[in-house]
Amino acid sequence: MKKIALFFMVLLPFFVSAESLFYYSNGKKIPLAETSGYTFIDGRVTKNANALPKNLKFMLRHENIFLFEKLTDANIKELSQYGHILPAYKRNGGEKVYASGMMFVKIQNVSDIEKWCESKGLSFVKKFKYAPDWYLVKTTENPIKKSVELVEKKIAAQAEPSFFMNFEKRTYIPNDTLFANQWHLYNDGTNTAVTGSDSTHVAEAWDVMLKIKGELGGSTVKLAIIDDGFDLTHEDFQGRFLAGHDFADGDDMPNPGAQDMHGTSVAGVAGGATDNGIGIAGACPNCQLIPIRMRMSGITSLDASAIEAFDWAANAGADIISNSWGPADNSGQTVDMNQTLKDLVANIATTGRNGLGTIILFAAGNGGESIETDGYASNPNVFAIGATKADGLRASYSDFGNPLDFMASSCDLDSSGGDGWAGGSYIDGIWTTDNMGSSGYNAGNEADGDALGNYTNSFGGTSSACPLAAGITGLVLFANPNLSKDQVYEIFKETSDKTGADTYDGNGFSMNYGYGRINACKAVKRAFELAETDVSAIECGGAINQSDPVNPDPGDTGDTGSHDPADTGDTSANPLCGNGTIDANEICDGNSLPCDQLAGAPKNGTAVCGTDCMSWDKSGCYNDGEGPSADVPEDNTPVVKDGSSGCALTLI
């Protein structure tokens, strides 16, 4: 009975008092009000720990913490014997959050954090590398009041409670039932199944990459994606993922849970395998993807998980971090990052990439509302990405406002209910990867993608626009790895197309479109220019080079551009090759290039254009301490050996 009595002594202020509740965030009071729901923190350490009495059903379990929507007085009385209970709260009058029994504290110049915690009746949980003065600690007291005490008594520079909160994926989850279909990458207006001719011009950017780098782009760039899980065994992700982490299950295998399919589709848009003869193409074909899983299945997620995810991505060396998630849309409330995450994001965006700054992108949101209510996408250290339709106009669901930065192509929505997703059906859906088989958006219905269920044709929202922009950012950084975050921003600001029936101000900004819809080709070309690479002969906006979507047959001396089962020596697809002009279907024509500008080539010497105008002859390239190959004449005229293939990398 002593434990029970103690419990009611502690909980009395929670459930009886009508006092004003608040906590401090960077010096500002954040109001709270108790509401329905409870957090139970199990304090048992016996073998029966975490076994709930009377088969109580919980909403969420995180280690020894359980969240309940409802508890009876009898439930409370019984659970109080094993740990302590905290109420749920409404934050800022609307957003529902659950206390976790933990706090973020900012302490400077502390030599032993564990001793410091012990002296204050706290328990040290962890520190964050990229938010060096912040620590996550546990308390057995009310974390709301304890955080206020630490601030008001100047025990800590800052302190705020850690909550479980709702993180929503930035896409429509469809309930209805490959490159030609991917209009968001290339759209010449001839696809009558698409309602417009606008796109982000990614395939044209690949052509630029082939001309300058000899590859489609991104092989030196690490792109982290934080989402709900990833089909690591998918046929279109083979060799695409680096080591990742799962903050939902606490392991290094961020596979999707039972209801998780969003991350697989997001990853496909950003960096699905390209030019492999199957499936779809990702915007950054060779970017190294870092998969990081958080819990985002419509139930609450611990805010510390987001902080851990960003910290993990930075430690993994991510150049770019893509986030197609955020606070719930149309909540009517402003939901901000806690100060720890703000500091961490600011630090990563400033000091990441060896001081050049990690580029963090967030989906703007799908509520058709002001982005200013979303403290994640509106954070000044991130790029907020909205969605434009196939006709270049803002999608009705895409959030707008002063914090909006750029747009990228995504689906349209037919919504008789006005802005947002409610009551809508897809138009011009985005084709991308899906959990293989029947566990994704497409359960194996050809009308929903492919008959095997490995791809979906109905992805979209700003959830798709964000990884598309992230993949394009990967191409830009591959073109010029010395660009700072701010320089990348200026490139997008300068080169984005001013689409839409909107008036842009003198600075090129629109409340509905930000600085415009990203143009990958123009952005990549500008990045090369800033690296002092001559791209004057390259024009954006022309036809793209397309060759066989499979590996060419041995001895194939010139693909026509379409696959033929008997394709063993087509007539030349380049009748203009040799005229000294780099035409739309060529990567070179009689010119040469320093070897250090070609991917996979030794850094000394000069590469010359191949006889097919579709490849670079790198036989004139050599490493330090070596000399030019004996096969290469002094004038660097290429030597074409018997059996060499005239086909370059293929685009699909």
Residues noted as catalytic: 227, 262, 463
Query: For 609, which DSSP code?
Result: E
Give the whole-angstrom CA distance, residue 590 versus residue 637.
10
CB atoms within 10 A of CB 27: 8
* The residue type at 279: G
Cβ-contact 504, 189 below 8 angstroms: no
What lies within 8 Å, CB to CB, of 127 at 6+ separation is 113, 134, 135, 136
CA atoms within 13 A on the CB side of 219: 12
* The residue type at 233: T
Angle at 225 between CA 220 and CA 230, to 5 degrees: 110
CB atoms within 10 A of CB 500: 20
3-state secondary structure of 244: coil
SS (H, E, C) 77-95: HHHCCCEEEEEEEEECCCE
Tokens of 248: 């939902």
Cβ-contact 634, 186 below 8 angstroms: no
Give the whole-angstrom CA distance, residue 294 versus residue 309.
8
What lies within 8 Å, CB to CB, of 353 at 6+ separation is 319, 485
Spacing of C-alpha 526 from chain mean position: 23
Give the whole-angstrom CA distance, residue 330 versus residue 579.
59
Give the whole-angstrom CA distance, residue 542 versus residue 57.
60
3-state secondary structure of 376: coil
CA atoms within 13 A on the CB side of 268: 35
Between 462-479 and 202-212, two packed helices, what is the crossing angle to 10 degrees?
A: 20
Give the whole-angstrom CA distance, residue 572 versus residue 507.
48
Give the whole-angstrom CA distance, residue 149 versus residue 137.
15
